[in-house]
Structure 1
Amino acid sequence: MSKPRVTVWNEFRHEREGGAAEECYPEGIHAVLAELFESRGFDVETATLDEPEHGLTEAVLDDTDVLTWWGHAAHEEVADEVVNRVQTRVLDGMGLIVLHSGHFSKIFKRLMGTTCDLKWRNEGERERLWTVEPNHPIARGVGEQVVVPEAEMYGERFDVPAPDELVFTSWFEGGEVFRSGCCYRRGSGRIFYFRPGHETYPIYRQTEIRQILENAVEWAAPENADAPSFGEVPVGPERRD
């Protein structure tokens, strides 16, 4: 089976503003994720907000098996035309991995049909990511728990539909918990929301997190299946009155 074709989308604003984000990801979060996926043998492209059509042209999306999405400060700058284009591709079978603050992205809110709001606090607290479905493909090789030394807290209630499958749950030093690894299916496409990851913490360089992201891409990639057919059909020859 061929490896998935991955497009890594990043807002790429914080990392160009100096400060902790630039120190943590000087080439952008997308560069770190692209390096990860390339090291696993995936065919990888990157796209960012300020490119024409945000780098997500019809040609790019048609050549994408799995799209990863990281955004934070400029969700409203994403053109509705591009959101429509991504939604169509997901419904047709493209996988989508929404990362951290991408929970407020237009595309995730569109696909969930809810506000996707939550509680948050950024104090660099320790996060303990618990694997609640150890036999799920996304949890392969991860173990019972992953400790993230410094993280932004996200807390319940997370205003999303109940996941089809919940793979990870987080606990934070302040006592909050959060559904951090949520799987959904929309149309023919698979969606994975994964909470860990912030622009000022090196979470995407952590070995266990990278393993989860690799697994998620493989899980979200389209299966080689016949596309469903819709619409009016003639009466079949086996009709019985």
Structure 2
Amino acid sequence: MVKVTVWNENRHEQKDQEVRDVYPEGIHGAIAAFLENEDFEVRTATLDEAEHGLTEEVLNSTDVLLWWGHIAHEEVQDEIVERVKQRVLDGMGLIVLHSGHFSKIFKTLMGTSCDLKWREANEKERIWIVDPSHPIVEGLGEYIELEREEMYGEHFDIPAPDELVMVSWFQGGEVFRSGCTYRRGNGKVFYFRPGHETYPTYYNVEVQKVISNAVKWAKPTNNTKPVYGNAKPLEKLDGMN
């Protein structure tokens, strides 16, 4: 069974009644609820827990970590960011959602500013699937349509994705690379754009399908991990005993 940890800074839910009305159990609670229906072993963690809920014990028993953050990126301790990074390099999957593009962990793994254009104007978003063969979009049609979402627009300052799975179009005219995969060390990373806190995006069954598929895609492989450092030759070399 895939072990999933859903991390959310959980600050909007404490400060904003509109967000509480949409996500009474928190964004992490809403995501965990539908993932549990997929027969994953799911737990949640939030910013204000000790070590942000991401202790070594938790991370070492996590196959895939989901990350939602927005207004408190700088409050995440660098020590915890490094801990998450090392787990990704060791093989843990990471799914970064919506405004998590500005999280310390995503910027660290990307090596760029991860900046973008944005606008909150209740716009329609049409998420076009541009790689229909990819397992993350298995079971979906040609696009996902959301009646209201926050706009993110290009240029999105990220490295060229290993795989570009989805591209969004917004009613105001912008487009955005909204489904991007990366490999970092032995781990897999997926960035998925939709999910502004005042919209019920995470109740959309197609959005849920993408995230569930992404968990299955991002889970660690069982391959033998590479050995680094000085290596003895496999064959006999002239001049060596």
TM-score, length basis structure 2? 0.97
**1:238 to 1:161, Cα distance in 2 relative to 1, 3 A:** same
Match of 1:177 in 2: 175
Q: Residue 142 of structure 1 corresponds to which residue in structure 2?
A: 140
Letter in 2 for 1:68: L
How far did residue 212 of structure 1 move?
A: 0.3
From 113, 121, 126, the counterpart of 1:115: 113
CA shift, 1:140, in A, is 0.2
- Alignment match, 2:66: 68
1:122 corresponds to which letter in structure 2?
E
1:236 Cα offset (Å): 3.3
Query: Shift in Å at residue 180 of structure 1?
Result: 0.1
- Show the 5 A alignment for 1:41-80: 41-80=39-78
Q: Secondary structure of the residue that 2:236 maps to in structure 1?
A: coil
Aligned-pair identity in percent equals 62
Q: Which deviates the most, 198-207 or 13-22?
A: 13-22
Q: How much does 1:27 deviate?
A: 1.1
The C-alpha deviation readout for 1:132-173, integer Å capped at 9, x for no partner, is 000000010111011011000000000000000000000000
SS at match of 1:15: helix
The one-letter amino acid paired with 1:210 is: Q
Partner amino acid for 1:64? T
In the other structure, the counterpart of 2:154 is 156
1:65-115 deviation per Cα after TM superposition (whole angstroms, max 9, x unaligned): 000000000000000000000000000000000000000000000000000
Residue from 204, 207, 213 that aligns with 2:205: 207
User: Which residue of structure 2 aligns with residue 82 of structure 1?
Assistant: 80
Q: Does 1:187 align with 2:180?
A: no
Cα RMSD, aligned residues only: 0.9
- For residue 240 of structure 1, report the CA deviation from its aligned partner: 5.3
What's the counterpart of residue 6 of structure 2? 8
- Provide the rounded CA distance (Å) in 2 between the counterparts of 1:44 and 1:218: 13
Q: Aligned AA for 1:172? A: F
Structure 2 counterpart of 1:174, which letter? G
List runs of 5+ in structure 1 lacking aligned partners. none
Equivalents in 1 of 2:193, 2:185: separation in Å? 23
In the alignment, structure 1 residue 168 sits paired with structure 2 residue 166: yes
Deviation >6 Å, runs of 4+? none
Q: Give deviations 1:185-226, integer Å, cap 9, x for gaps.
A: 000000000001011000000010000000000000001111
Stretches of structure 2 lacking an aligned partner (at least 5 in a row):
none
